[in-house]
Structure 1
Amino acid sequence: MTKPAGGANVPPASSASGAPEVIAVVGATATGKSAISIGIAEHLIARGTPAEIINGDAMQFYRGMDIGSAKLPIADRRGIVHHLLDTLDVSQDATVAQFQDQARAAIDGIHARGGRAIVVGGSGLYLRALLDKFEFPPTDPEVRAKFETRAAVEGPGVLYRELLAVDPEAASKIQPQNAKRIARALEVIEITGEKFSSSLPVKEYAIPAVQVGLRVPYDVLDERIDARVDQMWADGLVDEVRRLEEQGIRGAITARRAVGYAETLSHLEGELTERQAIDLIAQHTRRLARKQHRWFGPDDRVNWVDGPVDPDDVPRAVGDAIRAAGL
C-alpha cells in the first residue's frame, strides 16, 4: 500500500465487519516486540491514522515492576499512548477475564477516536482471550479455595497429577508448578462436570485482527537474554524488589512468582548468592521464551517475521512487520 499523493489521511484497514483490524505483535520475550510496535505505530501516524498501543504482558500490569518486566520507560514510548500499564498493585491478582474486559474497552475507545489499536505482548492466554472467542466458565470461591489450600499444603504436583488424569489436554497447557491455574482447572471440572480444556479459547477471532510474530534464533536470543538480565541487575533490580516488599509482593499470588522477582526474593532471603540469582533468572527467562514460542508457533494465523538481531536491525524488522500486517 503506497502513501497517497499530497499526504492525504489513510483510513484504517477494515475487516468485512467494518471494524479496523487490531494489530497484534506477539512472540517470545526479548524478541524486540516493544521496538517493533512503536515502529508500526509511528508508521500509521505518519500516514494519517492515529495509533495507540495496548500492553498484553501480564507482568507489566503491575506498578513498580519496571526493571524486571522490561517495561518500556516513558521516554522510550516516543509519545505513543500506551494502555494497561501500571494498572495493578503487586498485592492484586491479575486475571485473564479482567484483562479481556479492559483491553476490549480500550480497543473500542481507540476505534471511537478513529484510531488503530496495536496489542503487544507475550502472555499467550491473555492475547488469545482478547482476540479470540472465549467465554469464561463459572467460578465458586469455596471450591477454588479448597484446591488452592490443598496446593499450598500438599504441593501443586499432587493436584497436577489429578488434573493430568481427568483432563490431560488441559494439563499439557499448564506448568506443573502453576498452582493457581491448576486449581482453576480443577475448580471448573468440579463445578461443571466438564473438562477444563473444553472452555479454552478456540482459534476464531472475536475481534478482527492480524497477528505479526517475531522470531529470533535461539542462540541470538539466549545471548540477548543473558545480557538483559545482567543489565537489569546493574539497573537496580534488587532495590526495586526491596521497594516491592514494602508493598506486599511476598504475599502476592501472581506478582511474586514472576521470573526475575521470585529469584531476587530468594536472593534477599539469603537462599541464593548474587551470581546464582542472576544465572537462575537468565535460565528461567530462556525457558519462558521457549514456552512462549511454542504457544504462538502452532497458530497458523500468525505472520512470522525475523525480529531484529541488534539495534541497527530494528528499521528492517519494522518494515518487515509493516508488510506482514498488510499496512
Structure 2
Amino acid sequence: MDASAAPPIAVARDSDVPVVAVVGATATGKSDLAIALAERLDGEVVNADALQLYRGMDIGTAKVTAQERHGVAHHLLDVLTVTEEASVSAYQRQAREAVAGIRARGRVPILVGGSGLYVRAALDEIEFPPTDPAVRARLEKRAEREGAAALHRALADTDPEAARTIGVQDTRRIVRALEVGELTGRPFTAFLPRPLYHHPGTVQLGLRLERPVLHERIEARVHRMVQQGLLQEISGLREQGLDDGRTARRAIGYEQGLAVLDGAISCEQAIEDTIAGTRRLVRKQDTWFRRDLRVRWLTADAGEALVEHALARIREEAMTTREQQP
C-alpha cells in the first residue's frame, strides 16, 4: 500500500477538517490504512488501542515501529508504565487534547484502534461518572454479606431503569450503578454512551475481512510475535513490574507469556491459547463496532484500492455533512 506518491489533499479551513477514525477487529490492517490516510490528508494519528498506551508492550500489541510510521506523527503511544491502570476517562481527556491540537495545526486527526469504548470516548459525547474507592468497597462488602440479589432490589428502588438492564447476579455492574447514584444523584443510565459525535463531521471507517482469512492472519501474527521475541519482551517488562499491573498483565499474549516464564505451560500451549483468545477478542470487537450504524465498512484486503475507497468514503461523508448544515 503506497500512497506516498500522491500529494496531500488540501483542507481549506479548520471547520472543514474532519475527524477520521479507522476501527475494526484486530489484524485487519487498521494501522497501515491510518498511516496511508495521514499521508494523503496531511494528518496525524491518535492511538485508540488501550494496550498500546503502555511503554514496552510493542511486539505483543503489534505497535507500529518508528520506521513503519513513515514520518507521520503519532499520539498517545507509550504514555503509561505497565504498573499503571488504563483509564478510559483519562484517555478521553488526552485524546480530545490531541485532536484539538491537530485541528489547530490545520491537519486531520486520524483515530485508529480496536478498543471500542476508547473509540467511543474519543468520538462521542460521553460523560464518565466519578468513582470513590470507599463507597465502592462498602457496597462490595454489602454484596458479600447480603448477596447480589439484595443489592439488585435496592437498585430497583432507586434506579429502576438501570435495574431492568442489569442482571440480578451481575454484582460488578450493580455495585457500579449504586455507586454512581450515590455520588451523583443521577441514574446510571444517564451516563450510557449515545451516538452523538463530539465533532460533527466525524467519519468512522471500519475494516472487515472474511472470518477464515482473519483467523489465518491472527495465527500468522501470533507465530511472528513469538519469533520476534515476545517472551524476551515479557521478561523485560516483568522486571519493570508487569506482574503488578492490573491491566497490562492480563493482556492477551502477555498473560500466556508470563505463564510460560513461570513454567506453568509450554510455549506451544501459550501460542494456542493466545490464538484462541485473540479470536474471542475479534468476535467481541466485531459485535461492538457493527452495533454502530455510523461505521462505513471497507473490505480490508482490497489491496492498493483500499486507500482510494477510504478517501471516497471520507469525501461522501463530508459532502453529506455540509448538505445537512443550515
TM-score w.r.t. length of structure 2: 0.82
Contact 2:47–2:112 (8 Å) recurs in 1: yes
Instruction: Report the secondary structure of 1:321's partner residue.
Output: helix
Instruction: Report the secondary structure of 1:325's partner residue.
Output: helix
- Is 1:292 aligned to 2:281, yes or no? no
- Paired position in structure 1 for 2:70: 78
**CA distance in 1 between partners of 2:38 and 2:149 (Å):** 42
Contact 1:31–1:215 (8 Å) recurs in 2: yes
**CA distance in 2 between partners of 1:124 and 1:161 (Å):** 32
Bigger radius of gyration:
2
**CA distance in 1 between partners of 2:306 and 2:312 (Å):** 10
**CA distance in 2 between partners of 1:70 and 1:112 (Å):** 30
- Paired position in structure 2 for 1:207: 199
- Paired position in structure 1 for 2:84: 92
Structure 2 residues without counterparts, runs of 5 or longer: 1-6, 157-161, 317-326
Counterpart of 1:321, as a letter, is A
**CA distance in 2 between partners of 1:160 and 1:124 (Å):** 30
**CA distance in 1 between partners of 2:207 and 2:165 (Å):** 26
Instruction: Report the secondary structure of 1:136's partner residue.
Output: coil
- Paired position in structure 1 for 2:298: 305
- Paired position in structure 2 for 1:55: 47
Contact 2:25–2:285 (8 Å) recurs in 1: yes
- Give percent identity, aligned residues only: 47
Contact 1:216–1:306 (8 Å) recurs in 2: yes
Counterpart of 1:141, as a letter, is P
Instruction: Report the secondary structure of 1:75's partner residue.
Output: coil
Instruction: Report the secondary structure of 1:326's partner residue.
Output: helix
- Paired position in structure 1 for 2:19: 22
Q: Deviations over 1:120-171 (max 9, x none)?
A: 00111011111111111122121234567899xx8xxx87997799647765
**CA distance in 1 between partners of 2:236 and 2:176 (Å):** 30
Counterpart of 1:11, as a letter, is V
- Paired position in structure 1 for 2:116: 124
**CA distance in 2 between partners of 1:150 and 1:278 (Å):** 41
Contact 2:55–2:78 (8 Å) recurs in 1: yes
- Paired position in structure 2 for 1:265: 258
- Paired position in structure 1 for 2:38: 41
315, 321, 325: which is aligned to 1:326?
315
Shift in Å, 1:201: 1.4
- Is 1:249 aligned to 2:242, yes or no? yes
Does the C-alpha gap of structure 1 residues 186 and 12 become closer, same or farther in structure 2, counting only changes over 3 Å? farther
- Paired position in structure 2 for 1:4: none
**CA distance in 2 between partners of 1:136 and 1:265 (Å):** 33
- Is 1:135 aligned to 2:109, yes or no? no
Counterpart of 1:306, as a letter, is T
CA root-mean-square deviation? 2.9
Does the C-alpha gap of structure 1 residues 182 and 28 become closer, same or farther in structure 2, counting only changes over 3 Å? farther
Does the C-alpha gap of structure 1 residues 203 and 231 become closer, same or farther in structure 2, counting only changes over 3 Å? same
- Paired position in structure 1 for 2:56: 64
Counterpart of 2:272, as a letter, is D
Contact 2:8–2:40 (8 Å) recurs in 1: no
- Paired position in structure 2 for 1:222: 215
Contact 1:35–1:314 (8 Å) recurs in 2: no
Instruction: Report the secondary structure of 1:40's partner residue.
Output: helix
Does the C-alpha gap of structure 1 residues 274 and 8 become closer, same or farther in structure 2, counting only changes over 3 Å? closer
Q: How many residues align?
A: 299
Shift in Å, 1:188: 2.3
Does the C-alpha gap of structure 1 residues 30 and 141 become closer, same or farther in structure 2, counting only changes over 3 Å? same
TM-score w.r.t. length of structure 1: 0.82
**CA distance in 2 between partners of 1:134 and 1:217 (Å):** 32
Contact 2:28–2:300 (8 Å) recurs in 1: yes
Counterpart of 1:82, as a letter, is H
Does the C-alpha gap of structure 1 residues 246 and 215 become closer, same or farther in structure 2, counting only changes over 3 Å? same
226, 239, 246: which is aligned to 2:232?
239
Instruction: Report the secondary structure of 1:74's partner residue.
Output: coil
**CA distance in 1 between partners of 2:282 and 2:178 (Å):** 27
